[in-house]
Chains A and B, each alone.
Chain A
Amino acid sequence: DSGVTQTPKHLITATGQRVTLRCSPRSGDLSVYWYQQSLDQGLQFLIQYYNGEERAKGNILERFSAQQFPDLHSELNLSSLELGDSALYFCASSPPEGAQYFGPGTRLLVL
């Protein structure tokens, strides 16, 4: 158990819908990262937050957004969902200058 929690574990929804994925980092970690893992694209970095502020952006679509709250938990919002958004979404947290610790992921299926 890495100490990073994610909810829900599984999510099934329809095209055009909007979903919110939630992540709680390890105690004391200020950085939260979001990744998308699909079969054909591997592990793609989406976005990073540090202590509530956006720190870095990767290959995140405009339909996706995220935020980190004062209690350091983070949410990833995915809207206008398409079939191709079906993937595993991982959250990771890290201490400053440290390794990233991953949550168990949310499996999203868009039908």
Chain B
Amino acid sequence: GEDVEQSLFLSVREGDSSVINCTYTDSSSTYLYWYKQEPGAGLQLLTYIFSNMDMKQDQRLTVLLNKKDKHLSLRIADTQTGDSAIYFCAERRDSSASKIIFGSGTRLSIRP
């Protein structure tokens, strides 16, 4: 299909790791992105990975890319209350009008 797919909700305990998953559709996508949206705010670019990489780590964030399965994941280590937000996965698809196609977002909630 055309869509970038994500599950809508994820709940984790504070201090645990969060893993947010995403499947995309275009095997020729060059970049894949993770954005974070806090309540009432715009989308903030968190990290991105180039399609020839399998993994990228940036402090508490780890991005894993499985090109064969077109699967992208974002792992947040030691999840804190400030990580509560909606996380959007996006793929750069040069064949599309907007170039960057966004998933519907995963709402991450943290429980004590």
A-to-B contact residues, CB < 8 Å = 2, 4, 33, 42-43, 45, 48, 56-58, 90, 92, 99-105, 107
Contact = CB atoms under 8 A, between A and B. Distances in A.
A43 B105 contact: yes
B97 A57 contact: yes
**How many B residues touch the partner, as a band?**
10 to 19
A45 B88 CA distance: 14
Interface of B: 31, 33, 35, 40-45, 48, 88, 97-100, 102, 104-105
A100 B102 CA distance: 11
A107 B42 CA distance: 11
Contacts of B100: 99-100
Interface centre among B31, B88, B102, by most A CB within 10 Å? B102
A101 B45 contact: yes
A100 B101 CA distance: 11
A102 B43 contact: yes
